[in-house]
């Protein structure tokens, strides 16, 4: 496909699909903020967009450092909420008024490359020497397109764990050490299912593992629900369990050629996961609504364990009156625990007024100078190893052990975010099917039919 052949109407139509897809992704903050998106007219002022309000102060410090190191250049940062971010970015692409540089997502950049709205960083002097070895293993190469060129400079990474209030688990008689050693399997759920059953309490005070427990009148669920997971490959739902059973969504990553959702191992895993709701240990699809995720359920005292990403650490730390801890994902049938592994990056758009100045800003954000500042802010784990170390030290000083997130990187038990073409079309097929799985209107066998549809997309793309 030649992106330069796209007319504006076709580009707008294609980008609209990508925008709709963006609203389903995880690995982000849903914070809202400055809605001002006016572009600067000066080629010496770099317009940079991000969506996470918690990260904006850190990047403002980076912008100040960049301006000192590059006299005559400055950075204007625009932050907006996740839902607005992608729709306004799309509008900017269509109107030739997009920012110079923006925070990009692995689930979206493949189609942005295909649509021709990103510049290869290899073709710009300031970013041509960015090396994948400079970052945590596996992050750098994910941002290389099928043409072998780089379209994003890694900025951070995230994994998954369970946030919990130690006051609650102590009252249930579960120790920190026990929560660190939980095991899981799709047959009986292992010690993990026993733990969340015990943490579940009905309106009469009966626990989920006690006689007389009423699964239809639950006061506190052992495990929060974060939706069905069809829009994000189960990143904060079933992804960690499936990965710890040796399953991967595609035959290779990035740029897979076949999906693997017909695998009986995967179908059994998904059936077990959604079955937790039938047992009363996790909210059903309709209990809190599709958009009320694990953070809100935990904050309201409706769930004991909240599976979520490391990007949410600051949000959970902001809760009052709890003793916050993080437990790792359970050890699966493969003999190890696992976690989805995502990473954001900064990209330069083809609409920039100053390509080399924009590239210099991207290179600066990918450097130790900036990523050490981001690490010290303690909001996310920077992509560079030194920045990660600084972030860990910041968390330690704040009194929170975050090793449940970092051990996956240290031990190589991560499963990288799926990078594929036609991602918006894939999501359009996956999301309703997994919703139906969670509701119970479809059986796990329907995933085989979905798999056939997804592989047809691959075949069409290949042609």
Instruction: Give yes or no for residue 174 having a pLDDT over 80.
Output: yes
pLDDT tens-digit series, residues 296-319: 999 999 999 999 999 999 899 999
Q: Rounded distance, CA 324 to CA 163, Å?
A: 7
Residues β-bridged to residue 211: none
Average pLDDT over residues 243-261: 95
Residue 108: what pLDDT? 86
Phi, psi torsion values for 414, nearest 5 degrees: -90, 155
Instruction: Lowest mean pLDDT of 78-87, 233-242, 286-295, 367-376, name the range.
Output: 286-295
pLDDT at 36 over 60: no
CB 350 within 8 A of CB 359: no
Out of 31-40, 203-212, 374-383, 402-411, which region has the weakest mean confidence (pLDDT)?
A: 31-40
Residue ranges with strand state E in 82-175: 101-104, 153-154, 156-157, 160-165
pLDDT in tens, 19-34: 555 545 545 544 444 4
Residue ranges covered by each domain of the chain: 3-157+344-383, 160-341+422-462
Query: How far apart are the C-alpha atoms of 134 and 368, rounded to whole Å?
Result: 10
Classify domain 160-341+422-462 at the CATH superfamily level.
Periplasmic binding protein-like II (3.40.190.10)
pLDDT band at 268 (very low <50, low <70, confident <90, very high): very high
The answer to whether 3-157+344-383 and 160-341+422-462 have equal CATH topology is yes
Instruction: Give the per-residue pLDDT at 97.
Output: 86
3-state DSSP call for residue 372?
helix
CATH: 3.40.190.10, 2.40.50.140, 3.30.1300.30, 3.40.220.10. Which one for 3-157+344-383? 3.40.190.10
């Amino acid at each position: 496909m030649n992106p330069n052949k796209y007319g504006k109407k076709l580009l707008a139509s294609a980008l609209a699909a990508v925008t709709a897809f963006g609203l389903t992704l995880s690995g982000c903050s849903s914070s809202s903020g400055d809605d001002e998106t006016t572009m600067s007219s000066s080629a010496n002022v770099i317009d940079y967009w991000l969506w996470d309000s918690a990260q904006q102060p850190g990047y403002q410090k980076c912008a100040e450092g960049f301006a000192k190191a590059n006299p005559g250049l400055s950075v204007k940062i625009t932050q907006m909420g996740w839902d607005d971010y992608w729709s306004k970015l799309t509008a900017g692409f269509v109107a030739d008024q997009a920012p110079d540089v923006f925070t990009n997502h692995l689930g979206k950049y493949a189609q942005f490359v295909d649509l021709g709205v990103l510049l290869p960083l290899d073709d710009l002097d300031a970013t041509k020497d960015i090396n994948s070895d400079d970052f945590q293993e596996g992050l750098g190469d994910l941002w290389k397109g099928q043409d072998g060129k780089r379209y994003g400079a890694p900025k951070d990474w995230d994994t998954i764990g369970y946030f919990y209030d130690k006051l609650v688990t102590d009252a249930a008689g579960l120790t920190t050490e026990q929560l660190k050693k939980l095991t899981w399997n799709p047959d009986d759920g292992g010690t993990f299912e026993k733990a969340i059953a015990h943490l579940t309490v009905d309106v009469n005070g009966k626990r989920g593992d006690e006689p007389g427990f009423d699964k239809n009148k639950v006061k506190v669920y052992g495990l929060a629900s974060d939706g069905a997971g069809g829009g994000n490959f189960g990143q904060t739902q079933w992804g960690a369990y499936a990965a710890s059973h040796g399953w991967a969504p595609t035959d290779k990553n990035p740029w897979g050629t076949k999906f693997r959702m017909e695998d009986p191992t995967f179908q059994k895993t998904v059936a077990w996961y959604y079955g937790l709701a039938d047992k009363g240990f996790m909210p059903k699809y309709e209990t809190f609504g599709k958009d009320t995720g694990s953070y809100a359920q935990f904050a309201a005292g409706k769930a004991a364990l909240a599976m979520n990403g490391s990007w949410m650490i600051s949000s959970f730390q902001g809760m009052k009156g709890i003793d916050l801890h993080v437990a790792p994902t359970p050890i699966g049938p493969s003999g190890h625990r696992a976690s989805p592994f995502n990473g954001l990056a900064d990209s330069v758009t083809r609409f920039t007024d100053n390509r080399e100045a924009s590239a210099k800003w991207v290179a600066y954000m990918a450097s130790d100078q900036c990523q050490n500042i981001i690490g010290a802010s303690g909001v996310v784990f920077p992509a560079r190893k030194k920045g990660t170390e600084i972030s860990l030290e910041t968390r330690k000083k704040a009194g929170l052990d975050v090793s449940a997130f970092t051990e996956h990187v240290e031990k190589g038990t991560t499963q990288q975010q799926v990078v594929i073409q036609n991602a918006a079309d894939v999501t359009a097929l996956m999301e309703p099917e997994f919703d139906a799985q969670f509701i119970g209107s479809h059986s796990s066998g329907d995933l085989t039919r979905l798999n056939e549809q997804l592989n047809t997309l691959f075949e069409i793309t290949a042609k």
